[in-house]
Amino acid sequence: MDATIILAHGSVRKETTEVMDQLLRQLNTRDQYTDMKLSVAYLQLAEPGLGSEVKRLYAEGVRKIALVPMFIFDGVHVTQDIPAECTALEKELPGLSLKLGRHIGADPLLAQILADRITELQTV
């Protein structure tokens, strides 16, 4: 892939984009991502939207983009809305290839985060 977009839901609250910016900075400090073009986009309620970010990258010459959905559940956004937007963008932008990754789901790392939070509360 030429670029990777982390796709979050989005919110009208500014703090949510700050969290995503922090996560992006943390990823960019990892050796395996230092040469990778990583960015964040939002499905709704925040900017840049998915279409805007894809078009920005496309204008820079990027043609292969991986999308990593930062969604826990495989609800309607993951199963319908995002794939539909990807299909529309590929039709609109010649030569564009979008590859949609798996949603977070019941990942063991997420279970560990929850376990850590439970432990924190028990020690307070």
For residue 121, report the phi and psi dihedrals to the nearest 5 degrees: -70, -30
Judge residue 51's burial from the number of C-beta atoms within 10 Å of its C-beta, 0-12 exposed, 13-18 middle, 19 or more buried.
middle
Q: What is the DSSP letter of 45?
A: S
Q: Per-residue confidence of the chain (124 residues) as pLDDT tens digits?
A: 799 999 999 999 989 899 999 999 999 999 888 888 999 999 999 999 999 999 999 999 999 999 999 999 999 999 999 999 999 999 999 999 999 999 999 999 999 999 999 999 998 7
Reading the block at residue 98, the tokens are: 């979008």
- Give the model's pLDDT for residue 36: 85
Where are the domains positioned within the chain? 3-122
- Give the model's pLDDT for residue 102: 96
For domain 3-122, the question of CATH label 3.10.20.30 is answered with no
Distance from CA of residue 83 to its chain's centroid? 14
This prediction has a pTM of 0.92
